[in-house]
């Protein structure tokens, strides 16, 4: 811990018994129930906005020193975590971030805005969504009630596909093109053009997806109400034995078949050697008509079989790929044709097109795969260069326009002008470099 950062102080002249002031604003997190609780990343973004800083800068200056970042590079490395969802997950990273934010704001409850309280119960496998998602109707509701728009903890859990309140399927936050990803907006604003995501439209969700979401909401609420119960190890084998005896006469193989899983994997769950992912745990609770916390804590409630959800199979079983049934020579020929025609730019795209896994493709055609990976790197470089050129063109345009109005077009004015005209943003180093280039082109001395 860096002791040079003052976390709490008392303004001069205040009485000695006055409470100390926190280093950062003591912003209150939003939401209090399982379906409305704000996630830590969203809280952090709003807090940084209150301090007038971009989240990365705020993380670099305030969080990284508390997490042991003594040098510039290590602080940069730590600050990068502010972009990921892992700071809201179940790992030590979430604990460290919530602890640091607690210290800065003199709060003590920020860990409950992560999945950390369920850390000893859940497997990290497929727990967090791979992308940021949102419900437009929830954002619209925030707008109508004059509250800040914020992201719900529920939305970042992978097996939750729908907003349980509005019955809408969660939408993926639009991501900017390669090279434009530095901008990091407040929750509820598009990272592409800054537009209000509350105006977006979502599809109606299946009833099973909504039920799944409510089951996870119940789990979050159970954890809030009885945190001590979730401190130990999961007791899933106890529940499985109970459900197997109650529903299938103690025949585990039938239970496994009804759930749609192999006997071997189910045996691993029964012995406690393997922890199922949250997807499977929620499916068990759904099929047995009980709560997710019953499965995790090894409770023995009355259960009855409701059957597998019809519309969710595609999310709960491993993806069945049919491409591998074709002869290897045909697959390799098709793969080569994809590369030469330029239809695919990375190995994942090729694997998806051929309906095989990336691992399988790499195994049958290692040379082609390596070639495609190299091509992908070149493509990314070209795309980043083209993007940089386009941004400089806009920068130069604003620079020229502002010079005609006043004696000197400062970097800040130019950046603000480009942002207002196009929504483009610049990193500090990039803006400095563009300013130097534009000045040189205009014949202005450094
Ligand atoms: Zn909603």
Give the C-alpha separation, 113 to 158, whole Å: 16
Kindly report the three-state secondary structure assignment for every residue of 288-315. Answer: HCCCHHHHHHCCCCCCCCCCCCHHHHHH
Interval between CA 141 and ligand 1 midpoint (Å): 8
Interval between CA 94 and ligand 1 midpoint (Å): 25
Interval between CA 134 and ligand 1 midpoint (Å): 8
Residue 311 pLDDT: 66
- Environment class of 440 (CB within 10 Å of its CB; exposed 0-12, middle 13-18, buried 19+): exposed
Residue 323 pLDDT: 78
Residue 313 pLDDT: 52
Residue 5 pLDDT: 58
DSSP readout, 236-265?
A: HHHHHHHHHHHHHTT-HHHHHHHHT--HHH
DSSP readout, 120-171?
A: TTS--TTTB-SS-EE-HHHHHHHHHTTPPP--BGGGGBTT--EETTTTEE-E
Interval between CA 100 and ligand 1 midpoint (Å): 30
- Environment class of 241 (CB within 10 Å of its CB; exposed 0-12, middle 13-18, buried 19+): middle
Residue 218 pLDDT: 95
Interval between CA 422 and ligand 1 midpoint (Å): 30
Residue 2 pLDDT: 44
Residues present in the chain in total: 446
Under-50 pLDDT residues of the chain: 1-3, 182, 314-318
Interval between CA 164 and ligand 1 midpoint (Å): 7
Residue pLDDT, tens place only, 31-86: 989 999 999 999 999 999 888 888 888 999 888 888 887 788 888 888 888 888 99
Residue pLDDT, tens place only, 173-195: 877 765 555 456 788 888 777 78
Interval between CA 30 and ligand 1 midpoint (Å): 15
Nearest Cα residue to 295 out of 305, 304, 287, 284: 284
Nearest Cα residue to 248 out of 226, 221, 270: 270
Those residues with Cβ within 8 angstroms of residue 70's Cβ, 6 or more apart along the chain or in another chain: 2
Q: Judge whether 121 and 235 are in contact, CB under 8 Å.
A: no
Three-class DSSP category at 9: strand
Interval between CA 54 and ligand 1 midpoint (Å): 27
Give the C-alpha separation, 321 to 394, whole Å: 45
Interval between CA 208 and ligand 1 midpoint (Å): 16
Q: Judge whether 98 and 153 are in contact, CB under 8 Å.
A: no
Interval between CA 202 and ligand 1 midpoint (Å): 10
Nearest Cα residue to 296 out of 401, 223, 382: 223
Interval between CA 139 and ligand 1 midpoint (Å): 7
Count of other CB atoms within 10 angstroms of residue 338: 17
Interval between CA 161 and ligand 1 midpoint (Å): 11
Residue 10 pLDDT: 67
Domain boundaries, the chain: 233-316, 325-378, 379-442
First to last CA, the chain: 40
Nearest Cα residue to 132 out of 23, 49, 45: 45
Interval between CA 398 and ligand 1 midpoint (Å): 40
Residue 11 pLDDT: 67
Residue 182 pLDDT: 47
Q: Judge whether 65 and 104 are in contact, CB under 8 Å.
A: no
Interval between CA 386 and ligand 1 midpoint (Å): 38
Residue 378 pLDDT: 82
* Third-level CATH fold of 233-316: 434 Repressor (Amino-terminal Domain) (1.10.260)
Interval between CA 168 and ligand 1 midpoint (Å): 7
Interval between CA 188 and ligand 1 midpoint (Å): 12
């Amino acid at each position: 811990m860096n002791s040079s950062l003052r976390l709490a102080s008392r303004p001069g002249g205040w009485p000695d018994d006055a409470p100390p002031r926190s280093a950062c604003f003591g912003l209150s997190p939003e939401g209090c129930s399982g379906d409305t609780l704000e996630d830590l990343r969203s809280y952090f973004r709003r807090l940084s906005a209150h301090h007038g800083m971009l989240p990365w800068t705020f993380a670099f200056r305030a969080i990284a020193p508390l997490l042991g970042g003594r040098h510039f590079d290590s602080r940069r490395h730590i600050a990068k975590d502010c972009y990921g969802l892992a700071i809201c997950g179940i790992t030590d990273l979430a604990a460290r971030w919530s602890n640091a934010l607690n210290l800065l704001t003199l709060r003590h409850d920020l860990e409950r805005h992560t999945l950390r309280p369920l850390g000893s119960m859940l497997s990290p496998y497929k727990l967090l969504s791979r992308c940021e998602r949102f419900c437009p109707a929830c954002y619209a509701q925030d707008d109508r009630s004059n509250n800040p728009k914020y992201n719900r903890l529920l939305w970042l859990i992978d097996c939750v596909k729908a907003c349980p309140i509005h019955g809408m399927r969660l939408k993926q936050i639009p991501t900017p093109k390669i090279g434009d990803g530095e901008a990091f907006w407040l929750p509820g604003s598009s990272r592409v053009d800054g537009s209000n995501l509350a105006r977006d439209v979502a599809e109606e969700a299946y009833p099973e997806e909504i039920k799944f979401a409510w089951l996870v909401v119940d789990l979050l609420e159970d954890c809030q109400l009885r945190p001590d119960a979730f401190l130990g190890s999961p007791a899933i084998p106890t529940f499985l034995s109970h459900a197997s005896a109650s529903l299938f006469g103690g025949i585990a193989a039938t239970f496994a078949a009804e759930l749609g899983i192999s006997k071997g994997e189910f045996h691993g769950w029964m012995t406690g050697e393997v922890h199922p992912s949250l997807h499977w745990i929620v499916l068990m609770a759904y099929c047995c008509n009980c709560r997710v916390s019953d499965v995790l804590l090894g409770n023995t409630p009355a259960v009855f079989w409701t059957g597998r959800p019809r519309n969710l199979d595609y999310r709960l079983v491993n993806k069945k790929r049919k491409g591998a049934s074709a002869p290897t020579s045909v697959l390799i020929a098709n793969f080569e044709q994809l590369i030469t025609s330029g239809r695919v730019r990375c190995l994942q795209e090729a694997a998806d097109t051929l309906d095989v896994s990336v691992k399988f493709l790499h195994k049958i055609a290692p040379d082609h795969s390596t070639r495609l990976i190299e091509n992908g790197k070149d493509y990314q470089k070209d795309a980043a260069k083209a993007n940089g050129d386009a941004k400089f063109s806009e920068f130069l345009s604003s620079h020229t326009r502002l010079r005609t109005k006043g004696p000197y077009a400062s970097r800040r004015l130019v950046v603000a002008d480009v942002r207002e005209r196009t929504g483009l943003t610049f990193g500090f180093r990039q803006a400095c470099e563009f300013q130097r280039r534009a000045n040189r082109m205009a014949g202005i001395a450094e």
